[in-house]
């Protein structure tokens, strides 16, 4: 079966006239979009968007990027003749998702459609008008640069997407008062998710010393099963006390079987990425060279470009940094919640992370 790739999507969109403004599929959105440049083979795609009715113009609009990761996630979701919902595929992440959807719909192989939606209430099934989807029909191309609706009798069952659920959570009262409570809470949620992912994969977890007081379901995370109480006593680090000291404030470290360290992770929700990279670099420089350690920046999907810009600076290149977007963290966390996965190797994690240097 024909498989869509990120390079296909990039190539299709690059064929759009860069001097033409394109509209959104939803006619209520009066915004305009223009492609400014495209990086081959897999992106990013750079665009400008503006709303003429608000007095905005192309010349005053800021340039934005559609990331490689976002393009790949969309490419992987498509199968010939099967409609996809962009919001569902992307989990509501990425503020340019409707832009990518609109641009793709202006290319010959893609149509927008409204498949019927199966609804079940009280055991009675009915078919309702569905939500907007995109469908890939490579054998039935339409003209370049136009939006084309596809009418079909396709019926879908809209099973809710996998969501990550967090129970009662409170951040330590001694946290820096200048940091907004919502930022602290989001940072803590991601740490919680990383802990539970690690637990499901049979890893023991170090949580930053100053975050051990996070309350989750009325229990300090530092008291959870598998959370390391003293990093200095961890077998891998007993001979490297300087390294252990350097790692005390690293947000999350996974250990396996006393001899492996699958990942060293810094969660960067609001602070500059450089601080996390510097902390991991300081730890790595004081530690024995160890194979298969992933040095990971965990950050929001919108911060991808910032992560890549900082992590590729010369002083951080030997970290071979991985980028673990929030959407991927919560996708994996939700999978652990639902399926209680087991028996997979730590290489399974690589499916959810993106290597900065090889992007």
Q: Domain for residue 163, yes or no?
A: no
Looking at the structure, do residues 37 and 149 belong to the same domain, yes or no? yes
Looking at the structure, do residues 276 and 347 belong to the same domain, yes or no? yes
Of 157, 183, 215, which residue is a domain's last?
A: 157
Which residues, in sequence order, are bridge partners of residue 157? 118
Angstrom distance (rounded) from CA 106 to CA 84 = 16
Looking at the structure, do residues 139 and 175 belong to the same domain, yes or no? no
- Short-list 243, 244, 300, 245, CA closest to 273: 300
Looking at the structure, do residues 211 and 144 belong to the same domain, yes or no? no
pLDDT in tens, 264-309: 999 997 667 999 999 999 999 999 888 889 999 999 877 888 899 9
pLDDT band at 1 (very low <50, low <70, confident <90, very high): very low
pLDDT in tens, 138-189: 999 999 999 999 987 766 554 444 556 666 677 665 444 444 556 678 889 9
Q: Domain for residue 209, yes or no?
A: yes
Looking at the structure, do residues 105 and 127 belong to the same domain, yes or no? yes
> How much is the average pLDDT of 336-344?
78
Q: Domain for residue 162, yes or no?
A: no
Q: Domain for residue 164, yes or no?
A: no
pLDDT in tens, 33-69: 999 999 999 999 999 999 999 999 999 999 999 998 8
The three-state secondary structure class of 223 is helix
Query: Is-contact 4 78, C-beta < 8 A?
Result: yes
Of 157, 185, 205, which residue is a domain's last?
A: 157
Backbone angles phi, psi at 355, to 5 degrees: -75, 125
Looking at the structure, do residues 74 and 174 belong to the same domain, yes or no? no
Q: Calculate the average pLDDT of the chain.
A: 86
Q: What domain range is 85 assigned to?
A: 6-157
Looking at the structure, do residues 194 and 223 belong to the same domain, yes or no? yes
Looking at the structure, do residues 213 and 87 belong to the same domain, yes or no? no
Angstrom distance (rounded) from CA 132 to CA 202 = 41
Whether the predicted pLDDT of 258 surpasses 70: yes
Of 96, 127, 157, which residue is a domain's last?
A: 157
Looking at the structure, do residues 185 and 308 belong to the same domain, yes or no? yes
Q: Domain for residue 1, yes or no?
A: no
Looking at the structure, do residues 33 and 136 belong to the same domain, yes or no? yes
């Amino acid at each position: 079966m024909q498989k869509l790739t990120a390079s296909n999507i990039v190539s299709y969109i690059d064929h759009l006239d860069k001097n033409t403004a394109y509209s959104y599929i939803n006619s209520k959105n009066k915004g305009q979009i223009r492609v400014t440049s495209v990086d081959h083979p897999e992106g990013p795609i750079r665009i400008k968007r503006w709303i003429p009715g608000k007095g905005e113009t192309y010349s005053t609009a800021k340039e934005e990027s559609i990331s490689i990761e976002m393009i790949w996630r969309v490419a992987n979701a498509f199968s010939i003749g099967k409609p996809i919902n962009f919001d569902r595929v992307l989990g509501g992440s990425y503020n340019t998702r409707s832009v990518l959807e609109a641009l793709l719909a202006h290319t010959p192989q893609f149509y927008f459609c409204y498949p019927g939606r199966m609804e079940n209430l009280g055991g009675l099934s009915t078919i309702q008008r569905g939500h907007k989807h995109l469908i890939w029909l490579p054998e039935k191309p339409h003209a370049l640069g136009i939006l084309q609706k596809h009418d079909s009798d396709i019926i879908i069952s809209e099973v809710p997407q996998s969501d990550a659920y967090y129970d009662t959570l409170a951040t330590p009262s001694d946290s820096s008062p200048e940091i907004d409570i919502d930022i602290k809470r989001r940072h803590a949620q991601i740490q919680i998710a990383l802990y539970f992912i690690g637990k499901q994969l049979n890893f023991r977890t170090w949580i930053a010393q100053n975050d051990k007081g996070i309350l989750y379901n009325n229990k300090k995370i530092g008291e959870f099963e598998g959370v390391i109480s003293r990093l200095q006593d961890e077998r891998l680090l007993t001979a490297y006390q300087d390294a252990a000291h350097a790692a005390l404030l690293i947000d999350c470290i996974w250990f396996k079987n006393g001899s492996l360290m699958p990942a060293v992770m810094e969660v960067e929700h609001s602070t500059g990425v450089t601080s996390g990279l510097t902390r991991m670099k300081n730890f790595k420089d004081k530690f024995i060279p160890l194979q298969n350690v992933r040095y990971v920046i965990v950050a929001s999907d919108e911060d991808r470009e910032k992560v890549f810009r900082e992590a590729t600076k010369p002083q951080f290149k030997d970290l071979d940094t991985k980028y673990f977007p929030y959407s991927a963290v919560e996708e994996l966390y939700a999978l652990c919640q639902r399926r209680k996965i087991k028996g997979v190797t730590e290489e399974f994690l690589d499916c959810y992370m993106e290597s900065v240097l090889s992007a």
